[in-house]
Amino acid sequence: MANVSATERTLDIIDLLADHPNGLPVSEVARRLKLPKSIAHRLLSILRDRNFATQDSTTQHYRLAIRTASLGLRFFGNIGLYELCQPILTRLAQRTGEFVRLCAAENGELVWIASAQGSSEGLRYDPTMQAGPALHATANGRAWLSTLRETDALAQVRRKGFILPRDYAGSSHTSEEQLSKKLKHIKERGYAVSVDESVIGITAFAAPVPDREEGPAVGCVSVAGPSVRMSQSREREIMPDILAAAIAVGEIWPIPRFFAP
Protein backbone atom coordinates (compact mmCIF):
# COMPACT_ATOMS: atom_id res chain seq x y z
CA MET A 1 0.00 0.00 0.00
CA ALA A 2 2.99 2.29 0.46
CA ASN A 3 3.22 2.83 -3.29
CA VAL A 4 -0.45 3.73 -3.66
CA SER A 5 -1.05 7.47 -3.63
CA ALA A 6 -3.71 9.26 -1.64
CA THR A 7 -5.31 10.25 -4.93
CA GLU A 8 -5.66 6.61 -5.98
CA ARG A 9 -7.11 5.67 -2.60
CA THR A 10 -9.60 8.53 -2.80
CA LEU A 11 -10.72 7.42 -6.24
CA ASP A 12 -11.14 3.88 -4.91
CA ILE A 13 -13.39 5.25 -2.17
CA ILE A 14 -15.54 7.13 -4.69
CA ASP A 15 -15.82 3.99 -6.82
CA LEU A 16 -16.82 1.93 -3.78
CA LEU A 17 -19.43 4.38 -2.49
CA ALA A 18 -21.03 4.59 -5.93
CA ASP A 19 -22.41 1.08 -5.36
CA HIS A 20 -23.73 1.86 -1.86
CA PRO A 21 -26.33 4.64 -2.01
CA ASN A 22 -27.16 4.13 1.69
CA GLY A 23 -23.55 4.71 2.62
CA LEU A 24 -20.90 2.75 4.50
CA PRO A 25 -19.22 3.24 7.87
CA VAL A 26 -15.54 4.15 7.97
CA SER A 27 -14.65 0.69 9.25
CA GLU A 28 -16.32 -1.00 6.28
CA VAL A 29 -14.65 1.31 3.77
CA ALA A 30 -11.31 0.55 5.38
CA ARG A 31 -11.97 -3.21 5.37
CA ARG A 32 -13.12 -3.40 1.75
CA LEU A 33 -10.24 -1.32 0.45
CA LYS A 34 -7.68 -2.78 2.87
CA LEU A 35 -6.84 0.62 4.28
CA PRO A 36 -5.87 1.64 7.81
CA LYS A 37 -8.99 3.05 9.42
CA SER A 38 -7.22 6.36 10.13
CA ILE A 39 -6.40 6.85 6.44
CA ALA A 40 -9.93 5.92 5.35
CA HIS A 41 -11.33 8.42 7.85
CA ARG A 42 -9.00 11.18 6.66
CA LEU A 43 -9.85 10.70 2.99
CA LEU A 44 -13.58 10.46 3.68
CA SER A 45 -13.37 13.66 5.69
CA ILE A 46 -11.72 15.42 2.76
CA LEU A 47 -14.48 14.23 0.41
CA ARG A 48 -17.09 15.42 2.91
CA ASP A 49 -15.44 18.80 3.42
CA ARG A 50 -15.28 19.32 -0.37
CA ASN A 51 -18.96 18.30 -0.72
CA PHE A 52 -18.18 15.17 -2.74
CA ALA A 53 -19.51 12.98 0.10
CA THR A 54 -21.97 13.39 2.95
CA GLN A 55 -22.12 11.81 6.39
CA ASP A 56 -25.37 10.75 7.99
CA SER A 57 -25.70 12.40 11.38
CA THR A 58 -27.42 9.33 12.88
CA THR A 59 -25.59 6.33 11.42
CA GLN A 60 -22.33 8.19 10.68
CA HIS A 61 -22.25 6.38 7.33
CA TYR A 62 -20.63 8.10 4.38
CA ARG A 63 -22.22 8.22 0.93
CA LEU A 64 -21.54 10.14 -2.25
CA ALA A 65 -23.03 13.59 -2.51
CA ILE A 66 -25.29 14.64 -5.35
CA ARG A 67 -22.49 16.93 -6.50
CA THR A 68 -20.37 13.91 -7.43
CA ALA A 69 -23.06 12.48 -9.70
CA SER A 70 -23.74 15.90 -11.19
CA LEU A 71 -20.18 16.05 -12.52
CA GLY A 72 -20.87 13.11 -14.80
CA LEU A 73 -24.19 14.58 -15.89
CA ARG A 74 -22.50 17.90 -16.59
CA PHE A 75 -19.88 16.17 -18.71
CA PHE A 76 -22.51 14.23 -20.68
CA GLY A 77 -24.45 17.42 -21.19
CA ASN A 78 -21.41 19.29 -22.47
CA ILE A 79 -20.64 16.65 -25.10
CA GLY A 80 -24.28 16.44 -26.15
CA LEU A 81 -24.65 12.77 -25.24
CA TYR A 82 -28.27 12.81 -24.10
CA GLU A 83 -29.49 14.98 -26.94
CA LEU A 84 -27.86 12.70 -29.51
CA CYS A 85 -28.29 9.20 -28.09
CA GLN A 86 -31.42 9.28 -25.94
CA PRO A 87 -33.93 9.57 -28.81
CA ILE A 88 -32.48 6.41 -30.40
CA LEU A 89 -32.78 4.48 -27.12
CA THR A 90 -36.30 5.76 -26.51
CA ARG A 91 -37.46 4.66 -29.97
CA LEU A 92 -35.91 1.22 -29.47
CA ALA A 93 -37.62 0.87 -26.08
CA GLN A 94 -40.97 1.82 -27.61
CA ARG A 95 -40.57 -0.65 -30.49
CA THR A 96 -39.51 -3.57 -28.29
CA GLY A 97 -41.50 -2.79 -25.15
CA GLU A 98 -38.46 -3.74 -23.06
CA PHE A 99 -35.63 -2.13 -21.08
CA VAL A 100 -32.88 -0.60 -23.24
CA ARG A 101 -29.41 0.40 -22.12
CA LEU A 102 -26.34 1.97 -23.67
CA CYS A 103 -22.88 1.35 -22.31
CA ALA A 104 -19.57 2.93 -23.35
CA ALA A 105 -16.13 1.35 -23.43
CA GLU A 106 -13.47 3.15 -21.44
CA ASN A 107 -10.07 1.85 -20.31
CA GLY A 108 -11.01 -1.78 -20.83
CA GLU A 109 -14.32 -1.50 -18.96
CA LEU A 110 -17.95 -0.92 -19.90
CA VAL A 111 -19.86 1.86 -18.16
CA TRP A 112 -23.64 2.36 -18.25
CA ILE A 113 -24.41 5.82 -19.58
CA ALA A 114 -28.08 5.91 -20.66
CA SER A 115 -31.28 3.87 -20.61
CA ALA A 116 -34.94 3.84 -21.63
CA GLN A 117 -37.87 1.78 -20.34
CA GLY A 118 -40.33 0.47 -22.87
CA SER A 119 -42.63 -1.52 -20.58
CA SER A 120 -45.29 0.50 -18.81
CA GLU A 121 -47.17 -2.28 -17.03
CA GLY A 122 -47.07 -5.94 -16.08
CA LEU A 123 -43.88 -7.96 -15.72
CA ARG A 124 -40.87 -5.81 -16.50
CA TYR A 125 -37.14 -5.49 -15.90
CA ASP A 126 -36.07 -2.19 -14.35
CA PRO A 127 -32.53 -2.43 -12.90
CA THR A 128 -30.52 0.34 -11.33
CA MET A 129 -27.61 1.87 -13.27
CA GLN A 130 -24.87 0.53 -11.05
CA ALA A 131 -21.41 -0.74 -11.96
CA GLY A 132 -20.89 -1.67 -15.59
CA PRO A 133 -21.48 -5.22 -16.85
CA ALA A 134 -19.02 -8.05 -16.20
CA LEU A 135 -17.29 -8.62 -19.51
CA HIS A 136 -17.44 -12.42 -19.71
CA ALA A 137 -20.87 -12.93 -18.14
CA THR A 138 -23.19 -10.51 -19.94
CA ALA A 139 -24.49 -9.92 -23.43
CA ASN A 140 -23.02 -6.41 -23.45
CA GLY A 141 -19.64 -7.58 -22.24
CA ARG A 142 -19.31 -10.40 -24.73
CA ALA A 143 -20.64 -8.29 -27.61
CA TRP A 144 -17.92 -5.73 -26.95
CA LEU A 145 -15.18 -8.33 -26.44
CA SER A 146 -16.08 -9.91 -29.78
CA THR A 147 -14.91 -6.74 -31.57
CA LEU A 148 -11.42 -6.95 -30.07
CA ARG A 149 -8.60 -9.16 -31.22
CA GLU A 150 -8.81 -12.48 -29.38
CA THR A 151 -5.60 -11.87 -27.42
CA ASP A 152 -6.80 -8.41 -26.37
CA ALA A 153 -10.24 -9.71 -25.39
CA LEU A 154 -8.80 -12.44 -23.18
CA ALA A 155 -6.33 -9.98 -21.66
CA GLN A 156 -9.21 -7.71 -20.63
CA VAL A 157 -11.03 -10.59 -18.94
CA ARG A 158 -7.82 -11.85 -17.36
CA ARG A 159 -7.47 -8.56 -15.46
CA LYS A 160 -10.33 -9.57 -13.17
CA GLY A 161 -10.54 -13.26 -13.97
CA PHE A 162 -13.80 -15.16 -14.17
CA ILE A 163 -14.86 -13.93 -10.74
CA LEU A 164 -18.35 -12.42 -10.69
CA PRO A 165 -19.74 -9.58 -8.59
CA ARG A 166 -21.73 -11.07 -5.72
CA ASP A 167 -25.09 -9.91 -7.10
CA TYR A 168 -24.65 -11.95 -10.30
CA ALA A 169 -26.56 -15.19 -10.69
CA GLY A 170 -23.73 -16.95 -12.53
CA SER A 171 -22.14 -17.43 -15.92
CA SER A 172 -22.02 -20.19 -18.50
CA HIS A 173 -18.46 -19.19 -19.42
CA THR A 174 -15.83 -20.04 -16.84
CA SER A 175 -12.69 -20.56 -18.92
CA GLU A 176 -10.77 -18.77 -21.64
CA GLU A 177 -11.36 -21.65 -24.05
CA GLN A 178 -15.15 -21.45 -23.59
CA LEU A 179 -15.11 -17.70 -23.94
CA SER A 180 -12.96 -17.75 -27.09
CA LYS A 181 -15.40 -20.10 -28.83
CA LYS A 182 -18.35 -17.95 -27.82
CA LEU A 183 -16.70 -14.72 -28.98
CA LYS A 184 -16.01 -16.19 -32.42
CA HIS A 185 -19.68 -17.14 -32.71
CA ILE A 186 -20.79 -13.66 -31.63
CA LYS A 187 -18.44 -12.02 -34.11
CA GLU A 188 -19.95 -14.09 -36.93
CA ARG A 189 -23.58 -13.22 -36.17
CA GLY A 190 -22.99 -9.69 -34.93
CA TYR A 191 -24.68 -9.76 -31.52
CA ALA A 192 -24.64 -11.52 -28.14
CA VAL A 193 -27.25 -13.16 -25.93
CA SER A 194 -27.27 -13.71 -22.17
CA VAL A 195 -29.87 -15.91 -20.48
CA ASP A 196 -30.24 -16.09 -16.68
CA GLU A 197 -26.64 -15.02 -16.08
CA SER A 198 -26.47 -11.60 -14.47
CA VAL A 199 -30.06 -11.99 -13.19
CA ILE A 200 -32.12 -15.18 -12.98
CA GLY A 201 -35.19 -14.91 -15.19
CA ILE A 202 -33.76 -12.15 -17.39
CA THR A 203 -32.56 -12.44 -20.99
CA ALA A 204 -30.59 -9.75 -22.79
CA PHE A 205 -29.63 -9.18 -26.41
CA ALA A 206 -26.75 -6.80 -27.14
CA ALA A 207 -25.17 -5.37 -30.27
CA PRO A 208 -21.81 -3.56 -30.42
CA VAL A 209 -21.77 0.11 -31.37
CA PRO A 210 -19.32 0.29 -34.29
CA ASP A 211 -16.36 2.64 -34.21
CA ARG A 212 -16.25 5.07 -37.13
CA GLU A 213 -12.48 4.50 -37.32
CA GLU A 214 -13.07 0.73 -37.67
CA GLY A 215 -11.52 -0.05 -34.31
CA PRO A 216 -13.11 -2.00 -31.45
CA ALA A 217 -16.71 -1.12 -30.63
CA VAL A 218 -17.14 2.11 -28.67
CA GLY A 219 -19.92 0.57 -26.61
CA CYS A 220 -23.05 -1.58 -26.84
CA VAL A 221 -26.81 -1.22 -27.10
CA SER A 222 -28.86 -3.88 -25.33
CA VAL A 223 -32.47 -4.88 -24.79
CA ALA A 224 -33.31 -6.93 -21.69
CA GLY A 225 -36.52 -8.34 -20.30
CA PRO A 226 -38.14 -11.31 -18.56
CA SER A 227 -36.99 -14.58 -20.15
CA VAL A 228 -40.60 -15.72 -20.56
CA ARG A 229 -40.97 -13.02 -23.22
CA MET A 230 -37.51 -13.18 -24.74
CA SER A 231 -37.83 -16.37 -26.76
CA GLN A 232 -35.91 -17.29 -29.93
CA SER A 233 -38.79 -16.02 -32.06
CA ARG A 234 -38.71 -12.76 -30.11
CA GLU A 235 -34.96 -12.62 -30.70
CA ARG A 236 -35.47 -12.86 -34.45
CA GLU A 237 -38.18 -10.22 -34.26
CA ILE A 238 -36.30 -7.49 -32.39
CA MET A 239 -32.64 -8.06 -33.30
CA PRO A 240 -32.91 -6.02 -36.53
CA ASP A 241 -34.10 -3.06 -34.45
CA ILE A 242 -31.26 -3.50 -31.93
CA LEU A 243 -28.63 -3.75 -34.66
CA ALA A 244 -30.04 -0.69 -36.40
CA ALA A 245 -30.00 1.28 -33.14
CA ALA A 246 -26.37 0.33 -32.50
CA ILE A 247 -25.40 1.52 -35.98
CA ALA A 248 -27.36 4.76 -35.49
CA VAL A 249 -25.58 5.46 -32.20
CA GLY A 250 -22.23 4.77 -33.85
CA GLU A 251 -22.97 7.25 -36.62
CA ILE A 252 -23.52 10.13 -34.20
CA TRP A 253 -21.23 8.98 -31.37
CA PRO A 254 -20.05 12.25 -29.78
CA ILE A 255 -16.80 11.26 -28.08
CA PRO A 256 -14.49 11.33 -31.15
CA ARG A 257 -15.88 14.72 -32.20
CA PHE A 258 -14.89 16.32 -28.89
CA PHE A 259 -11.71 14.42 -28.08
CA ALA A 260 -10.10 13.79 -31.44
CA PRO A 261 -6.34 14.55 -31.37
Using alpha carbons only, give the angle 141, 146, 147 rounded to the nearest 5 degrees: 110
Please give the Cα distance from 201 to 52 (Å, whole number): 37
Q: For 182-237, what is each residue's pLDDT tens digit? A: 999 999 999 999 998 878 899 999 999 999 888 999 999 999 999 999 999 999 99
> Cα 166 from chain centroid?
15
Q: What pLDDT shows up at residue 200?
A: 87
Q: What pLDDT shows up at residue 259?
A: 42
Using DSSP's 3-state secondary structure scheme, residue 219 falls into strand
Question: Roughly how many angstroms between the first and final C-alpha of the chain, as a whole number?
Answer: 35
Q: What pLDDT shows up at residue 4?
A: 65
Please give the Cα distance from 63 to 102 (Å, whole number): 26
Q: Is the pTM of this model over 0.75?
A: no
- Domains parsed from the chain with CATH numbers: 6-69 (1.10.10.10), 79-259 (3.30.450.40)
Q: For 58-106, what is each residue's pLDDT tens digit? A: 999 999 988 887 777 677 666 666 678 889 999 999 999 999 999 988 8
Q: How confident is the model at residue 21 (pLDDT cuts 50, 70, 90)?
A: confident
138 has pLDDT over 50: yes
Average pLDDT for 18-31: 92
What is the SS3 assignment for 75-88? HHHHCCHHHHHHHH
Q: What pLDDT shows up at residue 3?
A: 53
Q: For 247-256, what is each residue's pLDDT tens digit? A: 999 988 855 4
Q: What pLDDT shows up at residue 26?
A: 95
5 has pLDDT over 90: no
Q: For 155-188, what is each residue's pLDDT tens digit? A: 999 888 777 665 565 566 678 898 999 999 999 9
44 has pLDDT over 80: yes
Q: How confident is the model at residue 1 (pLDDT cuts 50, 70, 90)?
A: very low
Q: How confident is the model at residue 109 (pLDDT cuts 50, 70, 90)?
A: confident
